[in-house]
Chains A and B, each alone.
Chain A
Amino acid sequence: MRKSTVALGVLSALYIPSLYANVEINGFASIVAGSSLSDDKSYYGYDKEIDFNNDSKVALQFAADLGGGLRATAQVLSRGSDDYSAEFEWAYISYDISDKLMLMAGRQRFNLYKYSDYIDVGYAYHWITPPRGVYSLPFNSGEGVGLVYSDIWGNTEVGLTYKYITTSVSDYAPVGSSTPPAPFSAKGHIMNFNFITSGFEYGLNVGVVTDFSYELPALLGLGDAISQTGLFDQQVVDDLLAIDDSALLIGANVKYDAGKWFVLAEYTRIDVDPSSFNIQDSAFVSAGIRYHDFTFHLTYGIDKGDPQYDAYDAMLPVYNALPPANQAALAPLVMGTKAALEAQQEDSSYYIIGTRWDFHPSAALKLEYTNYSNDKPSSDEQLLSMAIDLVF
């Protein structure tokens, strides 16, 4: 290397001042108003009264560039559904090992699906909320380490991620349910494989949750009651409770964006050890056309939750062999177990019709109608919602 080149290299390295960190502040906000069109039903927390809190949120992100590829980032999010109490959704240190490889350590996202990484940033997608059936995992964020690899292979942009994340929340309640909050914890490995070839995006996400527990008091009580009868194997209780269970989550997505229009589809499956958690399959197709500052879109999706009857099936032979008097005494317990296993059962479909208007360079106004119908248990719901999404 010639001396002058060395000098220039040193100069360019000095260009970014390193004495004080260069802090970038960004943020986003969504104000969402929604109302269920049915008189006596609620849908994901909405009833017939217009609600402004359920999906509204404001976030601020601070990213400090420490130079040399080292950054510290914190994202503080306050949700209307949480009385706007501020929580760290992300808080991590990232380091560019090379131009293609980045290490992230700290609190980050369980990015299991296409939109997981920026699910809170309404401005980044066309819906007010991505299809809830898919995007309603108990674990959104957690603590861990991740490696993010990005490169260009020929004509294809490649993004590969590996993360090991653990999470523990004291107050998990399944989205859209009236189940009281209960402790939930999980740890697992996440792998994302994402590719873009001229307008064509496709990806595969795999989550191997090695260990998760959901300590819902009512379920634990039911488990204790089953044990106390002394009639059933411990296996029955194990197959009812989600304690130290494992799960496999798989998602595949594809999108084509021609600029004037786009179409995308995503399929996800959650396979869990036998427990009150169901085997879940979800899929949706969404398409939109863009006309000037407007996007008009249509989405159709299905969600299936298949109960795992292992615990109930194991109880039945024991129950059937009992004298009638004992059967009568035990029936509530057996039926209660069946009901608990079926609590998440679902065989539903929905469609969403919506529009997005980019009325300002940093803001979008959205209007959306959702029609949801479930066969198991039978119910139909309609939701009308409106949102303003901002980024700054």
Chain B
Amino acid sequence: MNLPKTTKKLLKPVGLSLLLLLSPWVQAEIAVVVHPSNASEITAADISRIYSGKLKTFANGGTIVALDQAEGSPVREAFVKQILNKTESQLKAYWSKLVFSGQGQPPKVVDSSAEILNLVAANPNMIGFVDAAEVTPNVKVVGKF
């Protein structure tokens, strides 16, 4: 930026506080949610396998329907990085192997956290993830990351 040195100095703390304000949003805690009636134990490894299409049934025998957030949303970015331990490109490469060899389809993408919460609250087979701050009482949190 082409500003006088003094102005730059003055702006520094402003930038810093802006960063501080933004950081809790960047490091949002992710909550993985299921229907309240779902008593299955679900570990972090299970979540990773569910979202990789490898685990298809809950411990209670129910078929899993996994819901995904839209690509590019902060909560999805954090989920892919922290829980799936992949970059977006690696995840896409992974799914392209499965999709184009008929071994599976990636989880259905749902437009908003509100919709994920509504769907999960209404369906015992579903699992989703949202920003922990958005969790509503009619779903059950099985893990926070």
A residues contacting B by CB (< 8 A) are 8, 11-12, 15, 24, 26, 28, 59, 61, 63, 65, 71, 73, 75, 90, 92, 94, 99-100, 104, 108-109, 111, 117-118, 120-121, 123-125, 148, 150, 152, 157, 259, 293, 358, 361-362, 364, 391
Contacts and interface: CB of A to CB of B under 8 A. Distances in A.
B87 to A, nearest CB: 7
Given A123-B92, A358-B89, A362-B92, A118 B101 contact: yes
Given A12-B124, A123-B93, A361-B88, A99 B100 contact: no
Given A26-B100, A99-B56, A293-B87, 4 more contacts: A65-B105, A75-B100, A99-B57, A152-B55
Given A11-B123, A99-B63, A150-B54, A361 B71 contact: yes
Contacts of B88: 361
A338 B70 CA distance: 62
A12 B125 contact: yes
A24 B106 CA distance: 11
Contacts of A59: 100
Task: Identify the 9 closest CB pairs spanning chains A and B, nearest first.
Answer: A117-B101, A358-B89, A99-B56, A391-B96, A124-B97, A124-B96, A118-B97, A12-B125, A124-B93
A249 B71 CA distance: 41
A364 to B, nearest CB: 7
Interface in B69-121: 71-72, 85, 87-89, 92-94, 96-97, 99-103, 105
Contacts of B123: 11-12, 15
A121 B124 contact: no
Interface of B: 37, 49, 54-57, 63, 65, 71-72, 85, 87-89, 92-94, 96-97, 99-103, 105, 123-125
B36 to A, nearest CB: 12
Given A11-B123, A12-B123, A391-B92, A157 B54 contact: yes
A152 B49 contact: yes
Contact of A8 (B87, B94, B96, B124): B124
A362 B54 CA distance: 23
Contacts of B125: 12, 15
B100 A61 contact: yes
Contacts of A75: 100
A326 to B, nearest CB: 57
14 contacts: A12-B65, A61-B100, A92-B102, A108-B102, A111-B101, A118-B96, A120-B100, A124-B93, A124-B96, A125-B93, A293-B87, A358-B89, A361-B92, A391-B96
Nearest to B54: A157
A69 to B, nearest CB: 9
B86 to A, nearest CB: 8
B91 to A, nearest CB: 10
B119 to A, nearest CB: 9
A104 B123 CA distance: 30
Contacts of A120: 100
Contacts of A124: 93-94, 96-97, 100
Contact of A259 (B71, B72, B85): B85
B131 to A, nearest CB: 21
A118 B89 contact: no
Contacts of B63: 99
A297 B74 CA distance: 30
Given A99-B63, A358-B87, A121 B100 contact: yes
Contacts of B94: 124
Contacts of A11: 123
Nearest to A259: B85
B124 A94 contact: no
A259 B49 CA distance: 17
Contacts of B101: 109, 111, 117-118
B100 to A, nearest CB: 5
Contacts of A26: 99-100
